[in-house]
Structure 1
Amino acid sequence: MESIGHFLLRRLREVGISHVIGVPGDFNLQLLEQFSEVEGIEFVNSTNELNAAYAADGYARQRGIGALLTTYGVGELSALNGVAGAAAEHVPVVSIAGAPPLHAMRSGLPLHHSLTDGNYINVERAFGQFVAGTARLTPGNAVAEIDRLLRLAILEKRPVHIQVPSDISYLEIDTPSEPFQAPRLTSDPTNLADAVVAIADLVNGAEKPALLIDLEAKRYGWADVLLRIARENGIRWATLVTSKAVLPETDPLFAGVYGGANSAPEVKDLIEGSDALLAISPRFIEVNSGIFTQALPENTVKIYADTTFVGTHVYEGVAAADLLSKLADSLHRAPASLAHKPARTFEAKADAKLDQNSGRLWEQITDFVRPGDVVVAEAGTSYLALGGQTMPEGVDYTSSNIWGAIGWTLPVTFGWQLAAPDRRHLLVIGDGSFQLTAQELSTILARGQKPVIVLINNSGYTIERYILGHESHYNDIAPWDYASLIAGLAPNADLRTFQARTEGELASALSAVSDGEGGFIEVIVDPLDAPDALVKFGPASARFDYGRRGPELPNLG
């Protein structure tokens, strides 16, 4: 016998979760009391539910799965934006909410945190639009539903949502004593064998094979076998910006980032001119395809988690992990002998004004990155600029490319540090984005975390300025004294603060924080100073968003 709450927390621990991030609320307090009963798992307070959802997303990107705890209605719906973002980016997060007493929901009693209409299915239905599965626990279904949803999250790499009524978490039920067994996708033997033969024949006979990699290679752990396939057979690869740095970008076989018409000529020729392209779970959206200008060749193999397409033939029930493993043993091409790319070094010009458009600011920031770092790039100037920089081997690079939620990165950095406290974390965030979730800096400081935070202060939403309204007041933000926030949010914190307007000042600041003790560096640039990628992206985005009769931007090209 085991209580429902104890069983839930034990299962979370067994799948690799040692921190559950959230906000206390009256309907989840009994479950919170039970954390002390389960070794190896801790509840960690966040400043609000949206930030907690973002932090759980960051945690899951390191650990493979994360967990979030809120309270019914007001807490759940505040977190839904973050859960939806995890769904869009294929990140498994277990969203848990303390719900009103089971008897009250069954009776339709009008309670606070509800619409007082007796409807207690509406919030669960809202989550159901964005997650792989939902459940409201009862003593009768708790074991089956908890295990079902954990399996769904792991198999589909998407969030799930569990409501725990406040009056049941201490109830004792029969539970399995065996640890949770993580599921894996399995293959139909015949379809697997046929797919391997078809792909191997295509690649072995090709003159210009290539790999194109998207984010599921990271989510499902295929990076090592893909690297083996590439290196043992001399196959060059490119990534979409949504999967940047999944494979080492310093490898001579790495061609660059493919983005349709926006690709460098060498990358475009490699992908579009290939006579045997292995595309790993490609998912094209406007921001990673040059606004849908991708042009994959006829002999493209598309490999998804459980389905493979070879030309017009579909092989259902083929697990990509099995396929790639067998394919690695079936390819017989000669490895390439290419020289490794020389490491670049950046030499700062002491009095030179910091400048994004030339790319020097981003070269200087990239020069700071070391193998094994975690680099978190905010939506906007940061991810557009860093997307074109080469990351050292072993770097985890992440950004909200698909959901594109600004402010996402600060709490994500908090969650990632919880999951990997021994790694160095670099967050590059804009001032407008920072203001959305700045309160989570207090949690980072209170827990003694030591990230390096580079805040780009350009007085507003520069990415929006280049789409529309480059001088419009709606793209301005209130000026903050960012350096003073540290003392205000955490009086006892010792995170060092710096301001930089020149390359020399930024060089001094980066040198001072390179020891792993962290720091907060405010980089001050002009409001319309922007990386070249953004200068091109903004007007193209405006044309796509507003059409030929939309606002004209003659001054932006």
Structure 2
Amino acid sequence: MSTQSVANLQSEVSRLRHELQTLKVEDQVPAAGDTITIADYLLERLTQLGVTQLFGVPGDFNLGFLDYVESHSKVEWVGNCNELNAAYAADGYARVKEGSIGALLTTFGVGELSATNGIAGAFSEHVPVLHIAGVPSTSQQKSKPMLHHTLGDGRFDAYYKASQQFTISQASLTDAASAGAEIDRVLTDCVVSARPVYLMLPTDLVHEKIPAKRLRTPLNREPPANDPESEEFVLDEIMKLVGQADEDIIILVDACAGRHNVKAELAELVRKTGFPVYAAPMGKSVVPETYERYGGIYVGSISRPEVREKVENAKLILSIGGLKSDFNTGNFTYHIPVQRTIELHSDHTRIQFAAYHGIGMKHLLPKLTARLQPLHEGARQLVVPKFDAPVPTEDNQIISQAWLWPRVAQFFRSNDVIVTETGTSSFGMLDVPLPDGAVYVSQILWGSIGWTVGSTLGAALAARELGLGRTLLFVGDGSIQLTVQELSTMIRLGVKPIIFLLNNSGYTIERYLHGYNAHYNDISNWRWTSLLSTLGGVEGTNCQSHIVKTKDELDALLKNEAFAKADKIQLVEMIMEKHDAPKGLKVQAELSGKTNKG
């Protein structure tokens, strides 16, 4: 049997062992009356995972469960303007509150399908979200009457089947006997896989009582252990390549290093080895960007020349949690030969052309760090380009893309949560450094415009719980129109993000992809500074709006202590040129345009 076959078999054995550990309960008979409703059981499991916010929209098939949420002491009902925004908010919450998950509740059919785009985005980007769908009673699912919210053809499982495309695990609760185990199964899959899961909660089972003893055993959040022999073989293979590289090694960090809970292990690797560190766009802020051995963002041919030279000429690249999508790689312009690459992922390791399934980075990284630490002195001799972004001098008052991003970077503080929209904002932010403790939130792979508004709500609630700094949103005038209603939820809940709105008359990223002067990329120009008061705020009391048309006006606002304090929700409308865009976006759009033409 080949080494690969052995690794695959051992991976499956580890997975099954892990599942048994998860389902194991204490050998203890509960006291008389030691039962709990299925609704409260689910809420207690969420509490154990650190969830304090439940996003969603009420509907008749979830109202019974909402009664339990309303009376729960730790889980708060958020209540969103629509289910899509709720899914976006759960996503943002999970990204900021690392180690926990996002959770949303929708009603059968019409509600859950509205949320599907947000769930698919969380799946794409490895974000753990629980989607609870309140559904008709078990008896109705069997008799199949022509209920509202159905397709009218008796297919009560249609939405469940749809969910299988966008979630890693699903459960349809059918009886009280299996409910606890099924809830535990999908929640474990959610945490360990860092992917969304789906739970059908029938109206009649919400109130059913089940034994509470399972709650005494916390869910097992750890990924399956690596097989010791296979892991040792993998470490030996890695060290062979390390030896051949003469210590000319760089670390390339990507999204899954953050999503799959290896930040601590990665930090040890970085600190104890001293190898130069770079990040892909989706890995921005996973490693502190003030770290002296951090060199900036590598995004293929779009990279800064000095970054591209260091990464592509290294003799060995240690890739941690890579997601090689088009926008994350400069339209697949990585110039890193497979022969010089080692990839560490959550559930496998790839060394050159060989893949070792079941050897995950969570348990592998500490052992690899121990082996690499003796190379510390040599690694420290490798030159790392300084990652900075000086504000350019321009002989005009236009708020240009080239000037804006380095300038707002000076406004950032430690522990700020910075959210950028797909397109102009996410590309503009790539080449400016963030301060220590800053959390960067973007959606580069899925790229659903408008995602940031709902996500900012979830991110701001998580930041408030964790005692982080301000929440700052950078969004275009086109994108915000898709999901603007959620500003009203922010006002109602008292979160206080600063929303920097780029008013550049439409869909700038689309203009560069196709239709530079086409009318289909134009939008209506709203009265942006009236938005907050229209959606429930009181100007000067719990909200404040600003409009800036020049560099000097924006500079003065950013220096204003009352503004920077962020003690109320604020919106800043920035008037910008229609066809101006960050350099990286222009290059990416040109590359994508060529690809789209075939």
Task: Normalising by structure 1, report the TM-score.
Answer: 0.94
Of the candidates 357, 362, 386, which is equivalent to residue 321 of structure 1? 362
Task: Tell me if the contact between 2:298 and 2:308 (Cα under 8 Å) persists in the aligned partners.
Answer: yes
State which of 173, 177, 181 in structure 2 corresponds to 1:140. Answer: 177
RMSD over aligned Cα atoms: 2.0
Q: Choose which of 312, 319, 323 in structure 1 pairs with 2:353.
A: 312
Q: How far off is 1:491 after superposition?
A: 3.8
Separation in structure 2 between the aligned mates of residue 525 and residue 481 of structure 1, nearest angstrom:
15
Greater mean deviation of Cα atoms: 364-373 or 87-96 = 364-373
Shift of 1:271: 2.4
What's 1:52 paired with? Answer: 86
Shift of 1:351: 6.6
1:17 matched residue in structure 2: 51
Give the match for residue 61 of structure 1: 95
Which residue is 2:557 aligned to? 509
CA distance in 1, matches of 2:566, 2:395: 24
Cα displacement (A) at 1:508: 2.1
After superposition, the C-alpha distances for 1:356-410 in whole angstroms (9 at most, x for unaligned) are 1xx1111111111112111100001100111121112211111110000000001
Matches within 5 A, 1:150-549: 150-175=187-212, 176-185=214-223, 186-207=225-246, 208-297=248-337, 298-331=339-372, 332-335=374-377, 336=380, 346=391, 352-356=397-401, 359-421=402-464, 422=467, 423-492=469-538, 494-512=542-560, 513-517=563-567, 518-547=569-598
Residue 390 of structure 1 aligns to a residue whose secondary structure is coil
Whole-angstrom CA distance in 2 between matches of 1:469 and 1:345:
33
Asked if the contact 2:295–2:386 (Cα under 8 Å) also holds between the matched residues in 1, the reply is no
Change in CA separation of 1:408 and 1:342 when aligned onto 2, cut-off 3 Å: closer
Which moved further from structure 2: 240-249 or 252-261? 252-261
Deviation of residue 447 (structure 1)?
Answer: 1.1
Aligned partners of 2:200, 2:185: CA distance in 1, in Å?
Answer: 14
Pairwise CA distance, 1:205: 5.0
- Cα distance in 2 for residues equivalent to 1:347 and 1:241: 23
Q: Output the amino acid matched with 2:206.
A: S
Residue 118 of structure 1: how far off its partner (Å): 1.0
Aligned residue identity for 1:287: F
Shift of 1:177: 3.7
CA offset digits 1:45-85 (Å, max 9, x no partner): 01100000000000011223110000000000000000000
Q: Distance in 1 between matches of 2:165 and 2:152?
A: 23
Displacement of 1:273 in angstroms is 2.0
Corresponding residue of 2:24: none
- Give the aligned partner of residue 552 of structure 1: none
In 1, Cα distance between equivalents of 2:265 and 2:211: 41
SS of 1:498's partner is strand
Residues 349 and 504 of structure 1 are in contact (CA less than 8 Å); yes or no, is this contact kept in structure 2?
A: no
1:471 maps to amino acid: N
Letter of the 2:565 counterpart: D
> How far apart, CA to CA, are the structure 2 residues paired with 1:10 and 1:230?
37
Which string of whole-angstrom CA distances, capped at 9 and with x for unpartnered residues, describes residues 429-469 of structure 1?
Answer: 00000110000000111111111110000111011111111
Distance in 2, matches of 1:216 and 1:286, equals 16
Aligned with 1:292: secondary structure? Answer: coil
Contact 2:89 2:455 in 1 (8 A): yes
Separation in structure 1 between the aligned mates of residue 537 and residue 330 of structure 2, nearest angstrom: 46
Flag the 1:261–1:349 CA change in 2: closer, same or farther, 3 A: closer
Structure 1, 341-350 or 52-61: larger mean CA deviation: 341-350
Distance 1:342 1:75, change over 3 A: closer
Per-residue deviation, 1:280: 1.3
Number of aligned pairs? 545
Distance in 2 (CA, whole Å) between partners of 1:181 and 1:127 is: 23
> What SS does the corresponding residue of 2:592 show, helix, strand or coil?
helix
Q: Distance in 2 between matches of 1:267 and 1:343?
A: 12
Query: What is the one-letter code of the residue matched to 2:362?
Result: A
Are the aligned partners of 2:276 and 2:295 in contact in 1 as well (CA < 8 Å)?
A: yes
Deviates more, 1:228-237 or 1:206-215: 228-237
Cα distance in 2 between the residues matched to 1:246 and 1:491: 35
Amino acid at match of 2:491: L
Sort the Cα spacing of 1:135 and 1:499 in 2 relative to 1 into closer, same or farther, 3 A. Answer: same
Partners of 1:319 and 1:402 lie apart in 2 by 22
Q: Deviations over 1:121-161 (max 9, x none)?
A: 10011111010011111223211110000111111110001
Aligned equivalents of 2:268, 2:37: Cα separation in 1: 46
Q: Which amino acid aligns with 2:570?
A: G
Answer whether contact 2:37 2:210 (CA < 8 A) is retained: yes
CA contact (8 A) 2:293 2:384 kept: no
Which residue of structure 2 aligns with residue 554 of structure 1?
none
Distance in structure 1 (CA, Å) of the matches to 2:47 and 2:264: 26
Structure 2 CA distance for partners of 1:471 and 1:134, relative to 1, 3 Å: same
Task: Name the SS for the 2:86 alignment partner.
Answer: helix
SS in 2 for 1:334: helix
Q: CA deviation at 1:476?
A: 0.6
Q: Judging changes above 3 Å, is the alpha-carbon distance between structure 1 residues 339 and 160 closer, same or farther for their aligned structure 2 residues?
A: closer
AA of the residue aligned to 2:487: L
Return 266-275 or 299-308, whichever deviates more: 266-275
Amino acid at match of 1:212: L
Correspondence list, 1:64-103, <5 A: 64=98, 65-103=101-139
Structure 2 CA distance for partners of 1:325 and 1:344, relative to 1, 3 Å: same
TM superposition shift of 1:227:
2.9
**Which structure is higher in helix share?**
2
Alpha-carbon separation, structure 2, partners of 1:274 and 1:418: 41
Q: CA deviation at 1:475?
A: 0.6
Give SS of 2:278's match.
strand
**Does residue 42 of the first structure (1) align with residue 84 of the second (2)?**
no
Q: Is the 8 A contact 1:86 1:93 kept in 2?
A: yes
- Asked if the contact 1:497–1:519 (Cα under 8 Å) also holds between the matched residues in 2, the reply is yes
Contact 1:14 1:179 (8 Å CA) reproduced: no
Flag structure 2 segments of 5+ consecutive residues without an equivalent. Answer: 1-34
2:419–2:441: 8 Å Cα contact kept in structure 1? yes
Contact kept, 8 Å, 2:39 with 2:68, in 1: the verdict is yes
C-alpha separation in 2, matches of 1:292 and 1:141: 46
